[in-house]
Structure 1
Amino acid sequence: MRKKILVVLKGYPRLSETFIAQELLGLERAGFDLTLISMRKPTDKKRHPVHDEIKARVVYLPEYLHNEPVRVLRAFFAGIAKPGFKPLLKQFWADLKRDITPNRVRRFGQALVLAHEWPEGGEWLHAHFIHTPASVTAYASIMTGIPWTCSAHAKDIWTSPDWELSEKLGRARWTVTCTHNGFEHMRDLIKVDDKVYLSYHGLDLDRFGPFVGGHSNRDGADISDPAFILSVGRAVEKKGYDVLLRALALLPGDLNWRFTHIGGGDGLSKLKALAETLGIVDRLTWKGALAQEEVLAHYRQADIFALACRVAADGDRDGLPNVLVEASSQRLVCISTDVSGVPELLDDRENGLVVPTEDPQALAAALELAIRNPALRHRLGDAAERRVREHFDHHASIRQLTRLFEEQWQKEDQWRKSA
């Protein structure tokens, strides 16, 4: 029998996390009863259609404890007498000594609130991201005795210390992740075969149906009809937009192109200033965050999709950027870098162009090649769509998650009966 799952999220809904929303909807359609526990209230002004299709109730925890002191204190004093409080306090103190930050205290307080305001019928916990959401989830699990599982992605893996990752992996019943290198890193830490699984998010191919039109034959020769380069992503360090802008500035003067960026992010002002310095500002359009259907329209209008993924200074990096899968599904040739999970989707000169990270010259050469050769773009785009539709259908991920949940629940029931 399927259990009611409380899914702990960093924020909900978020435009940049369509892969999570898609998974939530897929699980609901597969018959799972979900309640969403969000650590932050939404900040995006728009929503994707998928968010309106998800039926699960959303519970918001206090983002900052001092903003809701009565709520937090009520949970704290109610928890003191409960059996899980002392084990939780012991674990929290052990963690705090290794990570003396306000963030650690915040996760403890949020977990107390979750345990105190426990949604009726909640029988399982599942965290999306193994850093802060998994901290709240793990603490709530200690407090309540409810088991938990986890989906790890990218930043959460690579910016978490190994001690914390290995301990969470040991406490969770299982963890899935969406790239092979993330899978190998976590498996090496835990060294237990049935604790970590590789599960590509995939794409809802009903939402990203085949593009029946055709991409243009623009080759950069016509000043009145320049080649259209598109990128979608937040303006943050790991997306490498400064590298992409420098690459665009290196393109030959006789090549006519225009570039559109879709996405928000704190780094937009710096990128716009860099474009001014590089002398390319008149060729750029900054759209800001757009809803999914608007992004899809841009994929179909563009000639090239570019994303200069990199490993950020703090270790943050993408897993397999969902936008590369989306663009590929629309026969749009993608140019990206050899970072993280990108090569798990794109093979250089087979179904995309892949260049070394942090190399504006190599990226500029790939952009020029794609602009001047429409036939190459079409061949690579066709191959990219085939790869996505054959290997990145999100229904496969939902089937895998369904199997993992149900097998684990059978084990839990057997353990209880034999205890």
Structure 2
Amino acid sequence: MLPSKTARRIAVVVKGYPRLSETFIAQEILALQERGLELAIWSLRHPTERAVHPMHKAIKAPVTYLPEYLYEEPLRVLRGAAWSLRQKGFGPTIRAFWRDLKRDFTVNRVRRLGQAFVMAREMPPDVGHLHVHYLHTPASVVRYAALLTGRTWTFSAHAKDIWTTPDWEKREKMAEALWGVTCTAHGASHLQALSDPQKVSLVYHGLDLSRFPAPPESRPARDGSDPQDPLRIVSIGRAVAKKGFGDLIKALAALPPDLHWRFAHVGGGELLDALKKQAKEAGIADKVIFLGSKAQPEIIGLLQQADLFVLPSKEAKSGDRDGLPNVIMEAASQELAIVATDFAGIPEFIRNGVEGELVPPGDWEALSNALNLLARDPERRRALGAAAFARLRRDFSMEGGIDGLERRFRSLAESPSKEPEYV
């Protein structure tokens, strides 16, 4: 449906909802909800995880799921297509779709157009603006739906969508969007070089510390010398190539035999079975546990009991890479010493030797050495953890970013809707 002249609600479009790996999106939606903005959530995919984050339970915005695959809901798609065919925006939409399809001749392109037909037809008229998380496939759906209905749209870009989307596609989408934000200086610089620099702003996700308990008052001074009380190492993240967990298994296997440790991984992912096999072949399966996806309270408990957090992010062969992983900041919220890679957005928060130890991405030997040195030095771990927590509170709280987004969204929601303009 076309927006009414008094449209006030904002549709937040995501690839999947809810997702444990995207707590930064849930945090933003919840914060905007608590500030009184009227939101609606539209998701390209249904949930695939059983565990639900407490934030998702607190979010009251209605959720609409688009057909994940067009053949699963053919009547819904046909009704959307028939409705779209009668709209003034149909011509511009098809021209944009055809230009995209000629450069990327895939079924995925057709699926996004079908989802946009459904979204455009079913979007309530009190929704005047669309905001999409991720500049790749979700933004394609939003772009087509916006062209069909004359609505304005904006975007949040994060990681994979920045580095695996072709430059021509990013340029064209950013040219049509009102504005966009992204969560690392590295990503912002890249996108600003492809568009009007004023259109793209750096907005760190930050962390809502009100959702987290205070750090433990103290931690046992484990140094790996006691086989009855081994050092506890933890990591959190999907088992995918860009997280570098294969490098971590190599690094753990190379630790000296006189160092006693245990490692716990939290997260699902396509490489989980391969990592378990790698750990077994490396002879460390009895020291490593893969816990799968866990709810937030369990994760916080794990961080509080750990001695060391590690995340060896790197660039995947596909070009995919992290932004600034929220799990880094979550570890810092518990004053946990951090070892990570000097890559992507991580050094924007962790400065080597100040808030944690950074090693080159893909260098498992350097990673093993950093783990070994910190494992044996409880005082050094305490100092790094305290510094990371101080930096988190000082420079990476959620409030600053949400303040800016609230101002932008409120100006959109409170502006009277204009008649659609088509070219």
Superposition TM-score, scaled by structure 1 size: 0.97
Q: Mark the CA change 1:413 to 1:78 in structure 2 (over 3 Å): closer, same or farther.
A: closer
| 1:69 equivalent in structure 2 | 74
CA distance in 2, matches of 1:305, 1:84: 51
1:40-59: CA deviations, max 9, x gaps? 00000110100000000000
Which segment is superposed worse, 220-229 or 112-121?
112-121
| 1:173 equivalent in structure 2 | 178
Asked whether the equivalents of residues 351 and 381 of structure 1 are also in contact (C-alpha less than 8 Å), the reply is yes
Match of 2:210 among 199, 206, 210: 206
| 2:3 equivalent in structure 1 | none
CA distance in 2, matches of 1:385, 1:100: 48
Kindly indicate whether residue 143 of structure 2 is the aligned counterpart of residue 143 of structure 1: no
RCO higher in structure (CA 8 A, sep ≥6) = 2
| 1:84 equivalent in structure 2 | 89
Report the Cα offset of residue 120 of structure 1.
4.1
Match of 1:48 among 35, 53, 61: 53
Secondary structure of the 2:112 match is helix
| 1:347 equivalent in structure 2 | 351
CA distance in 1, matches of 2:84, 2:321: 38
1:291-332: CA deviations, max 9, x gaps? 011101111000000010000001100000000000011100
1:18-59: CA deviations, max 9, x gaps? 000000000101111011000000000110100000000000
Match of 2:319 among 305, 315, 330: 315
Which segment is superposed worse, 392-401 or 257-266?
392-401
CA distance in 1, matches of 2:175, 2:411: 18
Secondary structure of the 1:218 match is coil
CA distance in 1, matches of 2:417, 2:74: 38
Secondary structure of the 2:209 match is coil
Report the Cα offset of residue 12 of structure 1.
0.3
1:45-104: CA deviations, max 9, x gaps? 110100000000000000000111111011111211111111111110110001101111
| Paired positions, count | 415
1:339-383: CA deviations, max 9, x gaps? 100000101111100000110110001000110000000000000
Kindly indicate whether residue 18 of structure 2 is the aligned counterpart of residue 13 of structure 1: yes
CA distance in 1, matches of 2:281, 2:307: 26
| 2:282 equivalent in structure 1 | 278
Kindly indicate whether residue 299 of structure 2 is the aligned counterpart of residue 325 of structure 1: no
Report the Cα offset of residue 280 of structure 1.
0.6
| 1:373 equivalent in structure 2 | 377
CA distance in 1, matches of 2:415, 2:359: 46
Kindly indicate whether residue 193 of structure 2 is the aligned counterpart of residue 188 of structure 1: yes
RMSD: 1.5
**Counterpart AA for 1:24:** I
CA distance in 2, matches of 1:307, 1:229: 11
CA distance in 2, matches of 1:404, 1:59: 24
Secondary structure of the 2:16 match is coil
**Counterpart AA for 1:235:** A
Report the Cα offset of residue 404 of structure 1.
2.3
**Counterpart AA for 1:64:** Y
Report the Cα offset of residue 3 of structure 1.
2.5
Report the Cα offset of residue 194 of structure 1.
2.1
Asked whether the equivalents of residues 181 and 340 of structure 1 are also in contact (C-alpha less than 8 Å), the reply is yes
Q: Percent identity?
A: 50
1:133-181: CA deviations, max 9, x gaps? 1110100000000000000000010000000001111111000000000
Report the Cα offset of residue 210 of structure 1.
2.0
Structure 1 unmatched runs, 5+: none
| 1:152 equivalent in structure 2 | 157
CA distance in 2, matches of 1:392, 1:327: 13
Asked whether the equivalents of residues 37 and 410 of structure 2 are also in contact (C-alpha less than 8 Å), the reply is no
CA distance in 2, matches of 1:209, 1:49: 14
Which segment is superposed worse, 173-182 or 78-87?
78-87
CA distance in 2, matches of 1:216, 1:371: 12
| 1:251 equivalent in structure 2 | 255
Asked whether the equivalents of residues 319 and 341 of structure 1 are also in contact (C-alpha less than 8 Å), the reply is yes
1:233-275: CA deviations, max 9, x gaps? 0000000000000000110010000000000011100000000
Secondary structure of the 1:96 match is helix
CA distance in 1, matches of 2:71, 2:112: 13
**Counterpart AA for 2:205:** H
Report the Cα offset of residue 333 of structure 1.
0.7
